[in-house]
Structure 1
């Protein structure tokens, strides 16, 4: 998705522009018990096809992402630019991911590619000139694709979002490009002439538009240029079943034989990859048999499987939801949540040998009872083994090593049914229930909850606190829990959070935040813990706000505030606005040292050199999940830091993080070229040291930027984000692309 043609922006005094997800589902908290019924005797698909597992620009090169990471998702399709494409979408520095470079990887992981022909143009919206030039480009692309990797081709998308990009008749209605209907017909015939067996995909509307679709299908039928696969882009899962039904009725009314559907872009920016959001799309796509493929939308960076992978190419919580989906085999079972189409969503499968049924669910908080019916008791036995896993959402750039087992044990199989309680669900997270044979020789043990450790990090979501002033809960896919606290800009803005500690002791406090202030200055918050005033929290400039699009730099950052004393039981942490403003994502406490005889009220800061000032670090964290615990650490991108065993290492990481920030700020402030060079080298050395501490096997990315090109980019980006009308927005995006092209040279 390259054009933000439907995104709403709210302008605030201090926080700039916050993108609001208008297409996604905002799950309501549900503290009551909910229910899901799985009918293994009724298949919604007789064989798993993983129709929702594709991605737009998911691959950037022949080895990015890693083949093993992709193959586990069982992708069916990718939508990628045609051979030699020049499109530079969403502020990327260069063109990448064309069919020639990515088709071999697609083949290795068992997927096929929808070739987006319009991406031969470098600008957005496309810098089309005339039909003769266009058809010449089409000839070159189709000939090249057919010659290089014909077996990797799913089909050709003749144009992208014509109802929003075609500058002429039967497009947006204005412009000098001519009649889209004629160009469609001529392009269709040209592609079929070069590749007679090729599938044609279209019209790829920017959303379901019944009036536009009616005109298009009527024209295509009359000219014998009907697409083999009908496509559009989906923003919000709930409406899709009705839209697919509307298409079916439209086809019947026009005398058109039913076509397969490809939703080759789905998921809005601030819901993308979030397990509790994406499960709704998977559910509704699987339950519509006409749906043949669906690709996650592209809003941010190439080659990250549309944000299922972190900035360090590590799986995040969304990846594991799709990994569970990819693991499904046999038939897809009917679940009750499709008919209700509410906040709770699910999909289920039973293997061909009837020895395993798995259910993926999510979208609400609270507790849910999953009833699995129609099980083969002869295969399972008198009791069934049950395992419940959770895939947490701590933000796009927080790696999750593996899902956490939260419940396990055996339950009775009664008349082919089992009941599984899934407790303490969080709306942003994903959950999996797996039922396998338990045997006939033992009695059911019941389900046991995973034991927690005192050293497990305590993460408190900022949006769950009591807010005052202008502070508001805002949705963001880069945020932990899919929400954060924004508009923290009035003098009386504050956030009061309850922190429940399993035991008293000294805890390391980490804060997630974003500071995209136009003045690029530090923001500060006043910190109070259990009524005691502590040192201020300092939030360095983070290059943008949490909801930035494109979020190239990973704007959600973290600071290691220092160590604090918590009492056993409930504690109160309050952050109140100081200088400037920062968005607040979460507060995380990790036990460093227990105080078994400490009966005070907590709140004292333990002073040491590493915590005398807040240290800023990357937006990425790492989560290690096991059957008994989750260790969350955010000192840098995809870094695992576990305390207290590695306390010396943690101090080294914090110091290295401070050095990176110190030299970055010094470099930015330097005015003379020679001074800039000096500080830049120091900054890169510090950055390399930090990377070696935490990612010895990761290829370090150079991010040197030419100052003049960077200034052009910033100016263009500002214009793009502030545009209020489509015309101004297009002009700004064109200027932005020009700046990137200049920078890349």
Structure 2
């Protein structure tokens, strides 16, 4: 059976050498003639653009996805629907604007034709559309973010309304002239109503070498040039053509004497690409290389999940971590020479050097196997005589399966030789992965433990299959099918005799985590029977997923003896009987669970997000990583911290010097002000016990005095604390109006509360006691599968809002994203401020929005944000 390295260890071995000649690495480094990609730190190509990772309908509602997922990515542009648009039930530009712009957004494109409900757009005549344009502009002009919007008046006119893609020359001329006249009318109308408006177009579905010369000539002559040039690159074959198309367009501008206009490739990639780091880097490296203003991941599935990179509302996927690696690039990009620049599914890269931070970062991926990353121009004046080289990787985790922070697989100091070259040899790479290589001054500090628990992966299509079918997904020819590990999965496991048996081998006795990557489109919880070596059958429950190929992960704990085993997932069992429903299987992962299952994670300050005034230092102070940072008054250092589960965690801040305080997810945490210390006495550890949300959390250290605060690292580990758990159906809670307790097999207590909303009188009130006054986190476990099912291919899920009032005060509105099924239960954290003693928390919904109901309420966890550390 084919066995591959597990996602978290996809880097394999990284062999780092220095002083190699330009002809390539010696045979001792690689015997199999690995691919070679060259990074020249001496050849700067301009400031990092950070434009390649925008999204179309990546946001659906206020807080969906969470600020914790948005802010670290620094997404500059997004495209959303017109105000009051009916194309989709959510994603209104004006509704998500606050969320987008407070998290670093630069501008938002408004798809104006999404005012219509039908795809392709209803054609009720141009005058009907012109009236809607006036309505949209009036709404935008009244919005406080009006200067940050860009109007997109037409979407894919090559085939919608105008037929610019016709093969008939005479018909093309007629269609072209009609579009150009309508373009002129709409642009002039928008500018009449909004004199400062920015307009983008023509926004065709592909780069159109026939139409664009005509369009630009006409637009220049009539003074209706777009402010932003847009087109789409969606199928796989558009990626190899991109650099040529870009060069053609820039030459066209020169020939016509216009521009250069900023370019936004506001829809790129198919389902085979999105969520897969090794695919995404191929597109994003091309966009960053050509310095287009922005690029947006296409919208093929559901709104509100950042094109599939956000899991639930607050959890990162493997591809989210890649986007964060991209966002962490700073300074100036440098020349990267891949072995095959414009060939599909080949090794590509992005690299940048930051003089102020004294760091270089290199991202590579796009193919599997062995590769040598040759870094040239390593300047001793910037990095010193020794260079520290750290390597880590991230890979596809499944579209709806979260992933922990990438672990460091290699960390070494190397001497910089006279030719200034370092080669990082990456071996046995996962084709779906991206590797991050960070160079910084070496010779000081300490290196992390790179030993990780044993792990391995096994593809379902290579297992022993009985009464099931192997399907192929996400190839270049099948570019809009969702990706699958190994490009195949096993489905149609719906017969009583259906089963998939994996032959595995583990190195030692102990506990293992079995991760099952599956799909379940039944609309409810499905099952399979799990057997190990033919014995001890048990049912495995699979929560619903969006489609059969939209993967989630089910984790199961196994006790295994060292040696070979057979793991079977079956539709039935002689003892247990038939499983409910069915599921598709992509692969299984086995990972050894260490004796200390709650291993701490250390986040280094020199890798954190910092304010502009923060200084980076690499002198020897016995720091935990390569260096540390010095933050002046009001300067900030933000750590993006992952928590596997909701709960308390101990946060150990290693620091020295001036005073500082902590904020969690943008809110100051009372009582966390540190005392000044003498830097000469070494580092001090301050421990705080805080309640973290499952997924991502932003922990910000703010220097509060003129004396610089030296920050080395933040170490995070799970801890215990006082958490109240309350079932929604408990007798102590209050239901009014139509609110009712409903039996629910998969709810935590066998029931949940529904019927909240659709009128102010239909409420649910949670009665709780607080040991002390102050900020708490209320974790709401809920289900929601409300949908608008009219779209041709998008899954138009609806987020249900709830207005949450504490002790009768003005409510805060929280949106609860769709969970794919009424018996799938997800969790969202809601900050609340409680009084000491008895408190009431009331849920209602009288909003008159797409959904007038609150979600089904299952259970609640309530905990103070901060408690004394043990």
TM-score (norm 1): 0.69
Partner residue in 2 for 1:504: 509
Partner residue in 1 for 2:398: 395
Q: Which moved more, 1:389-398 or 1:274-283?
A: 389-398
Return closer, same or farther for 1:584/1:104 CA change in 2, 3 Å cut-off.
closer
In structure 2, the residue corresponding to 1:516 is in which secondary structure? Answer: coil
Q: 1:584 deviation in Å?
A: 0.6
Q: 1:527 deviation in Å?
A: 5.2
Partner residue in 2 for 1:97: 92
Among residues 116, 131, 151, which one is paired with 2:126 in the alignment?
Answer: 131
1:300 aligns with 2:305: no
Q: 1:351-395, CA deviations, whole angstroms, 9 ceiling, x for partnerless residues?
A: 134721110112223332222111221232221111111223211
Give the Cα–Cα distance (whole angstroms) in 2 for the partners of residues 185 and 508 of structure 1: 61
Give the Cα–Cα distance (whole angstroms) in 2 for the partners of residues 42 and 307 of structure 1: 35
Aligned pairs for 1:411-426 within 5 A: 411-415=414-418, 416-426=420-430
Give the Cα–Cα distance (whole angstroms) in 1 for the partners of residues 181 and 560 of structure 2: 72
Give the Cα–Cα distance (whole angstroms) in 2 for the partners of residues 219 and 275 of structure 1: 40
Q: Which moved more, 1:95-104 or 1:180-189?
A: 95-104
Return closer, same or farther for 1:77/1:686 CA change in 2, 3 Å cut-off.
same
Greater fraction helix: 1
Whether contact under 8 Å (1:470, 1:493) holds in the other structure is: no
Partner residue in 2 for 1:266: 268
Give the Cα–Cα distance (whole angstroms) in 2 for the partners of residues 424 and 504 of structure 1: 27
In structure 2, the residue corresponding to 1:358 is in which secondary structure? Answer: strand
Partner residue in 1 for 2:219: 220
Return closer, same or farther for 1:525/1:380 CA change in 2, 3 Å cut-off.
same
Among residues 743, 759, 765, which one is paired with 1:679 in the alignment?
Answer: 743
Q: 1:347 deviation in Å?
A: 0.3
Give the Cα–Cα distance (whole angstroms) in 1 for the partners of residues 494 and 106 of structure 2: 51
Aligned pairs for 1:307-386 within 5 A: 307-337=308-338, 340-342=341-343, 343-353=346-356, 355-386=358-389
The two structures, once aligned, show a CA RMSD in angstroms of: 4.7
Whether contact under 8 Å (1:277, 1:428) holds in the other structure is: yes
Whether contact under 8 Å (1:381, 1:438) holds in the other structure is: yes
Whether contact under 8 Å (2:518, 2:586) holds in the other structure is: yes
1:515 aligns with 2:520: yes
Report the number of matched residues.
607
Q: 1:635-690, CA deviations, whole angstroms, 9 ceiling, x for partnerless residues?
A: 9x9689xxxx99x9xxxx9xx9xxxxxxxxxxxxxxxxx9x98534984754779x
Partner residue in 2 for 1:582: 583
Partner residue in 2 for 1:47: 47
TM-score (norm 2): 0.60
Q: 1:64 deviation in Å?
A: 3.6
Whether contact under 8 Å (2:416, 2:422) holds in the other structure is: yes
Q: 1:115 deviation in Å?
A: 2.2
Return closer, same or farther for 1:232/1:493 CA change in 2, 3 Å cut-off.
farther
Give the Cα–Cα distance (whole angstroms) in 1 for the partners of residues 113 and 450 of structure 2: 51
Whether contact under 8 Å (1:271, 1:482) holds in the other structure is: no
Return closer, same or farther for 1:577/1:366 CA change in 2, 3 Å cut-off.
farther
Give the Cα–Cα distance (whole angstroms) in 2 for the partners of residues 362 and 682 of structure 1: 41
**Larger CA Rg, structure 1 vs 2:** 2
Q: Which moved more, 1:278-287 or 1:307-316?
A: 307-316
Whether contact under 8 Å (1:516, 1:541) holds in the other structure is: no
Return closer, same or farther for 1:219/1:464 CA change in 2, 3 Å cut-off.
farther
Partner residue in 2 for 1:75: 75
Whether contact under 8 Å (1:364, 1:427) holds in the other structure is: yes
Give the Cα–Cα distance (whole angstroms) in 1 for the partners of residues 695 and 109 of structure 2: 35
Whether contact under 8 Å (1:86, 1:120) holds in the other structure is: yes
Give the Cα–Cα distance (whole angstroms) in 2 for the partners of residues 194 and 418 of structure 1: 57
Q: 1:106 deviation in Å?
A: 1.6
Q: 1:282-327, CA deviations, whole angstroms, 9 ceiling, x for partnerless residues?
A: 11001114x1111122223333322221113222211121112112
Whether contact under 8 Å (2:387, 2:441) holds in the other structure is: yes
Among residues 141, 150, 153, which one is paired with 1:146 in the alignment?
Answer: 141
Return closer, same or farther for 1:248/1:138 CA change in 2, 3 Å cut-off.
same
Q: 1:401 deviation in Å?
A: 3.5
Q: Mind listing any 5+ residue stretches in structure 2 that lack a counterpart? A: 1-30, 475-479, 573-577, 604-623, 625-641, 647-692, 697-716, 728-737, 754-767, 769-775, 796-848, 854-870
Q: 1:211 deviation in Å?
A: 3.1
Give the Cα–Cα distance (whole angstroms) in 1 for the partners of residues 777 and 102 of structure 2: 31
Give the Cα–Cα distance (whole angstroms) in 1 for the partners of residues 91 and 643 of structure 2: 33
Whether contact under 8 Å (1:57, 1:298) holds in the other structure is: yes
Partner residue in 2 for 1:663: none
Give the Cα–Cα distance (whole angstroms) in 2 for the partners of residues 87 and 634 of structure 1: 37
Give the Cα–Cα distance (whole angstroms) in 1 for the partners of residues 33 and 750 of structure 2: 51
Q: Which moved more, 1:492-501 or 1:363-372?
A: 492-501
Give the Cα–Cα distance (whole angstroms) in 2 for the partners of residues 457 and 149 of structure 1: 51
Partner residue in 2 for 1:671: none
Q: 1:146 deviation in Å?
A: 3.3
1:434 aligns with 2:432: no
1:486 aligns with 2:485: no
Give the Cα–Cα distance (whole angstroms) in 2 for the partners of residues 507 and 632 of structure 1: 20
Q: 1:605-650, CA deviations, whole angstroms, 9 ceiling, x for partnerless residues?
A: xxxxxxxxxxxxxxxxx9997799xx99899x9689xxxx99x9xx
Give the Cα–Cα distance (whole angstroms) in 2 for the partners of residues 592 and 40 of structure 1: 40
Return closer, same or farther for 1:420/1:356 CA change in 2, 3 Å cut-off.
same
Q: Mind listing any 5+ residue stretches in structure 1 that lack a counterpart? A: 1-29, 549-554, 595-621, 657-673, 723-740
Whether contact under 8 Å (1:400, 1:625) holds in the other structure is: no
1:106 aligns with 2:101: yes
